[in-house]
Amino acid sequence: MLLLSEFRDPKTAIAHLWPLLLPLAILLPVLAGFPYASPEARFSDFSITHYPNALFLQRSILEYGQVPLWSPTILSGYPIAANPLASLWYPPHWLALLMPLPIGLNVVAVLHVLWGGVGMYLFLRGQELSHRSALFGALAFEAMPKLFAHYGAGHLTTIYAVPWIPWLLLATQGNRPRWLRPGIVLSLIFLADVRWAAYAGLLWLAYETAHSHRDWVQRLLGIVKEVGIAALLAAPLALPLVEYTRLSSRANLEVVDVLAFSLEPAQLFGYLFPTFGGYHEWMMYAGLAVFILALVTVFLGFRKNIFWLTVFAASNFYALGSSLPGMDVLAELPGFSLLRVPPRALTIAVFALIVLASRSLEIFLRGEMISSAKRRIRLFLMGMTTLCWGLTLGVGMLTGSVPMSQLWGAASLTLVTIILFLALVERITVSWMSVMLAVVMLLDMGAVNLSNLSSRSVERVLSEQGEVAEYLARQPGNLRVYSPSYSLPQQTAAYFDLELADGADPLKLEEYVEYMTLTSGVPRTGYSVPLPPFESGDGDPSTTNRDYLPDAAMLGKLSVGYVAAEFKLDVEGLELVEQFGETRVYSITNVLPRAYILKDGEVFRVEHIDWSPNRIQATTNTAGLLVLSEIAYPGWQVYVDGQLSEIQTHEGLFRAVEVGEGCHGIEFVFRPMSVYSGLVVSLLTIIVLVWRGYRTE
């Protein structure tokens, strides 16, 4: 059995694992740019969310010497320390910040894919599979179209989290090194992407329950122990996230939101017929070599493979979501929102297929197949090929044309069938069979991956609405920008250091959502990632909100100085000052400053303000209520002349403090107890684990 200890010699590791670099070749053109699903795709989470967050972290450290816990970039400010998509607490993410962006993010993402391949190889070797079988599974894992489709959609944190899944299962095996334990890996998955911690955790729990040789009491105690370690290590994100989620609009998710994008049963044919340029959540194609080899295990020892066959079936069952009766009841259970969007379980289904395919290949390579099994497999291959071509030709007869996806699936299946047939009748050796299947698999998956991943240059992405952003960046005053039509993309705003009152993020403060619903005039119809939502009309952000007029006075209270829109806004208090193509830029005539004193109904500007991510300092000679056009949130403290004072909430949203007569220095500081408590808990846990490991040595 090949263990981690055998890789202490770099030459040995390279000799065994150099083929794992092959699936990464497709990613090389993406390194210097931004990943998109296709050349025509309008949005990517990579550019909208991950690049702006990383850029803000990088700038905050370089310009202010602070690790930012609060971000003013979107939504008039939010606790970035509690945002899982910021990756603030995920250690490998910091490697990306040492490089120019977006190159750093892409390099770290590619390294994660390679890391996942190595983990998959070691996990399969731990299952007593040979080098060839384990390498086949590792290549299949790295080339997984589901993973590439998510990368094309810009889901960076998914690329961070999923490659840890084989390491999580490897940590369950008895031959693991002492530093590799399930609790540590599970905490890293949580810090990388909270959503995947739920899926990976359930898979690990099932695997541990099914494969552990300990008695039930010891097994249960072991699971509780590892879950506890994971929770303690993940506390820097977990505690602030619980606090933020409780105050966010996501706390009120409805069943329809939890079961969004559920599969239709007919879509399960996606295992046979790939989707070129399809929707990433519905991608399930694993390559016909993997799929057929996985199904062959039914004839090669059903009982030995019952666990992974069950995982595959259960994952697909859950992915159907709202298509199944009774799922609405399940979706209402506490904590179930972590499993929002059921088709994400397809990643676990494909993982199970890869394990099954590797185990099936191993039986071929060992020559342990009896003649009756060979006969059943030949009949199965003939039946599958006939079915696949029958469906393909049937569609062609009914519609007058055959989709490329179906032709591709039928042709790939035919090629896999021929290779397996030749091996079964001993016309080629099983060694050559494994090489041929690996080549077919990489070409098959590679073609699908190329259709779901496109690179876009930095210049093109950061110049979207560049004229608008450049104009706004030149305007005096530290004023925010609002757009009801996404006229200022988040990556462009971040690049030009502009702050937005709108924004797209899964987590938003409920109080702010209510305020912006009144301010924007756009009705709230349920959970929405962007604010304002773009769900009415045709769903096109540039036009869908054209019938809703914003309240200029309420925007002014947020220190929004400018509104950018793709349509005319006939609103009192807005003045058209510039137009770039279809994009109109309005100024708000009665905008409140970022800090002001309210006294006897009058507003007095606070002129001296010093801002940094976690601290805002101001000086005033006027008595009254000092109001910041900044969002109130637990953890903000205020000091007047160095003395801790009572922080107030003005109009249910803004930070404020009473100031007496005379000259005073006011300092607002963000010191969230949830963050500091989490850091202390995590640090103490690390110390204990290191100490126990040292004592064991």
Q: Which pLDDT tens digit goes with each residue over 312-335?
A: 999 999 999 989 888 888 777 777
Average pLDDT score over residue span 378-390: 93
Average pLDDT score over residue span 329-354: 86
Question: 10 Å Cβ neighbour count for 204?
Answer: 24
Token pair belonging to 521: 């005039």
pLDDT at 507 over 90: yes
Question: 10 Å Cβ neighbour count for 580?
Answer: 16
What is the model's pLDDT at position 331?
79
Average pLDDT score over residue span 484-501: 97
State how far the Cα of 389 lies from the Cα of 384, in Å rounded to an integer: 9
237, burial (CB in 10 Å: exposed 0-12, middle 13-18, buried 19+): buried
The values of phi and psi at residue 649, to 5°, are -115, 120
268, burial (CB in 10 Å: exposed 0-12, middle 13-18, buried 19+): middle
pLDDT at 266 over 50: yes
Compute CA 235 distance to the chain's CA centroid, rounded to the nearest angstrom: 19
| DSSP letter, residue 5 | G
What is the model's pLDDT at position 2?
46
- Answer for the pair 91, 103: CB distance below 8 angstroms, yes or no: no
> Looking at the DSSP assignment, which residues form a beta bridge with residue 500?
481
How sure is the predictor about 696, in pLDDT bands with cuts at 50, 70 and 90?
Answer: low
Name the more confident of 368 and 609.
Answer: 609
Burial of 315-325, coded b for 16+ CB within 10 Å and e otherwise, reads bbebbbbbebe
How sure is the predictor about 1, in pLDDT bands with cuts at 50, 70 and 90?
Answer: very low
Q: Per-residue DSSP letters for 500-566?
A: BSSEE-S--BHHHHHHHHHHH-----S--SEES---STT--TTTTTTT----HHHHHHTTEEEEEES
What is the model's pLDDT at position 372?
83
Q: Which H or E run includes 410?
A: helix 404-424
HEC profile of 25-74 = HHHHHHCCCEEECCCCCCCCHHHHHHHHHHHHHHHHHHHHCCCCCCECCC
Distance set, CA 335 to CA 240, 243, 332, 527 (Å) = 16, 14, 9, 16
Q: Which of 462, 452, 456 is nearest to 152 (CA)?
A: 452
Q: Per-residue DSSP letters for 381-398?
A: HHHHHHHHHHHHHHHHHH
Token pair belonging to 418: 């021929």
The values of phi and psi at residue 542, to 5°, are -75, -15
Q: Which of 503, 424, 439 is nearest to 139 (CA)?
A: 439
Average pLDDT score over residue span 93-112: 98
What is the model's pLDDT at position 537?
52
| DSSP letter, residue 168 | H
pLDDT at 192 over 80: yes
Token pair belonging to 397: 């007869």
CA angle 212, 216, 220 (to 5 degrees): 85
pLDDT at 148 over 70: yes
How sure is the predictor about 251, in pLDDT bands with cuts at 50, 70 and 90?
Answer: confident
Average pLDDT, rounded, for the chain: 92
Average pLDDT score over residue span 482-505: 97
pLDDT at 405 over 60: yes
Sign of CA dihedral 193, 89, 78, 63: negative
The values of phi and psi at residue 5, to 5°, are -60, -25
What is the model's pLDDT at position 46?
97
Q: Which of 294, 311, 410, 408 is nearest to 354 (CA)?
A: 294
Total count of residues recorded for the chain: 697
State how far the Cα of 34 lies from the Cα of 27, in Å rounded to an integer: 11
Average pLDDT score over residue span 131-157: 97
What is the model's pLDDT at position 4?
57
Assign 644 to helix, strand or coil: strand
- Answer for the pair 54, 160: CB distance below 8 angstroms, yes or no: no
pLDDT at 15 over 90: no
Residues 6+ positions from 203 with CB-CB distance below 8 Å: 165, 168, 169, 311, 348, 351
Assign 652 to helix, strand or coil: coil
Strand order in 583-588's β-sheet?
480-482, 560-565, 583-588, 574-580
State how far the Cα of 268 lies from the Cα of 277, in Å rounded to an integer: 17
- Answer for the pair 533, 524: CB distance below 8 angstroms, yes or no: yes
Strand 608-612 with 654-659, pairing? unpaired
Token pair belonging to 232: 């303690």
Name the more confident of 355 and 373.
Answer: 355
> Looking at the DSSP assignment, which residues form a beta bridge with residue 531?
503
Q: What is the pLDDT of residues 114-127, one digit of tens each?
A: 999 999 999 999 99
Token pair belonging to 605: 């500007």
Cis-peptide into 23, omega within 30 deg? no
> Looking at the DSSP assignment, which residues form a beta bridge with residue 522?
none
Q: Which of 418, 296, 270, 273 is nearest to 357 (CA)?
A: 296
Strand order in 664-670's β-sheet?
608-612, 615-620, 664-670, 636-640, 643-645
Token pair belonging to 345: 């379980």
State how far the Cα of 270 lies from the Cα of 267, in Å rounded to an integer: 6
CA angle 273, 278, 283 (to 5 degrees): 65
Average pLDDT score over residue span 448-460: 95
State how far the Cα of 514 lies from the Cα of 35, in Å rounded to an integer: 34
Distance in Å from the first CA to the final CA of the chain:
23
Average pLDDT score over residue span 548-570: 96
Average pLDDT score over residue span 547-561: 96
Amino acid at 200: A
How sure is the predictor about 6, in pLDDT bands with cuts at 50, 70 and 90?
Answer: low
Q: What pTM did the predictor assign?
A: 0.94
Question: 10 Å Cβ neighbour count for 35?
Answer: 31
pLDDT at 23 over 70: yes
How sure is the predictor about 212, in pLDDT bands with cuts at 50, 70 and 90?
Answer: confident
Token pair belonging to 533: 């939502």
State how far the Cα of 613 lies from the Cα of 345, in Å rounded to an integer: 37
What is the model's pLDDT at position 695?
67
What is the model's pLDDT at position 365?
92
Amino acid at 226: E
What is the model's pLDDT at position 396?
84
